[in-house]
Structure 1
């Protein structure tokens, strides 16, 4: 089963992405799934790093406060936020990473 449905054309900047369309034909569905998973993981790591920086200086009570013991919980919370956002569509980083991975794999297969 293809990661990109065969009845839809991948789009980039509002136009059909012909390079990705051709590359998907050369890459196995298993490799596509692996690339999709890796690109989502990459985006989650990026978002986690961004969230950690964002909440580093937050003071006060609650899960993002600066009380004793919030450090480990905060890191787990930001990690789960990042994974959740990435799984639900993310901010677009994983799409670009996926496109790059697939085009590179197709070039190696040729």
Structure 2
């Protein structure tokens, strides 16, 4: 059975670490998961910013020197929310690969 094609709930060690783990390993797994989520959020933010690239808003609700800055804030907030809601699947893939690199599988 190919791990990459099985549902998340069936894949070993992605959501539930092995029973014999100490506090340091659990903390390391949590930090790796957080890093993977931050990576997915950054990726989505860049994708969303590209989506907004050609969008111009007419006055009185748009334009001005602050519009581009606030678009980037909005893109970042949208990306973080998308990641919290499950994202596009990068978090689990990056998390799995980072765990392998750390020898935690």
Short-chain TM bin: 0.7 to 0.9
Q: Which has the higher helix share?
A: 1
2:49 maps to 1:56: no
2:96 maps to 1:99: yes
Residues matched between the structures, number: 92
Matches of 2:57 and 2:68, distance apart in 1: 13
Gapped runs of 5+ residues in structure 2? none
Aligned CA RMSD, in angstroms, stands at 2.5
TM-score, structure 2 as length reference? 0.74
Which of structure 1's runs of 4+ aligned residues deviate more than 6 A? Answer: none
Alignment of 1:13-92 (within 5 A): 13-14=5-6, 16-18=10-12, 20=13, 24-25=17-18, 28-61=25-58, 67-68=63-64, 69-92=66-89
